[in-house]
Structure 1
Amino acid sequence: MATIKVSGMSCQHCVNAVTKALSGIDGVQDVKVSLEKKQADFTETKPVSREVIREALQKAGHDLG
């Protein structure tokens, strides 16, 4: 399981947006986002570059922390 820090989250809507953004990446599944910890845990079914993750988060209004 991979863990990333996510900046810019402040509410449940943010959690939902980050979950949706990460879940939409090919190779990412089982996404669990924690508002309290400001992080996301997920399973990579194949290697996913951090740049792909960053771009998906930025489109959702957030960034890697």
Structure 2
Amino acid sequence: MSQQTTITVTGMTCGHCVSAVTDELTAIDGVHEVDVDLVAGGDSPVTITSDGPLDALAVEAAVDEAGYAVAPR
């Protein structure tokens, strides 16, 4: 059964940013879809569809690897 997790990523400004974050998140085991609602220069909601619960640290590390940060909840 698929599970959706929504996070907020700060600092993205363009399609290249979206691609970088999407590539890093889809590299996490079990992730099969990433949908980014880009808010250029602001906080962008990102919905991750996966096979099960995601490790929050793995998600944060993937976003960090792309050069951005997950906004605190």
Q: What's the counterpart of residue 30 of structure 1?
A: 33
CA root-mean-square deviation:
1.2
What percentage of aligned pairs have identical amino acids?
38
Question: Scaled by the length of structure 1, what TM-score is found?
Answer: 0.88
Q: Which ranges in structure 1 are unaligned for 5 or more consecutive residues?
A: none
TM-score by length of 2: 0.80
**How many angstroms apart in 2 are the aligned matches of 1:49 and 1:59?**
15
- Which residue of structure 2 aligns with residue 13 of structure 1? 16
Structure 1: 4+ residue segments shifted above 2 A: none
Unmatched tracts of structure 2, length 5 or more: none
Name the counterpart of 2:46: 40
Q: Choose 1 or 2 for highest CA Rg.
A: 2
Greater mean alpha carbon deviation, residues 49-58 or residues 39-48: 39-48
Amino acid of the residue matched to residue 62 of structure 2? A
> Which amino acid is 2:52 matched to?
K
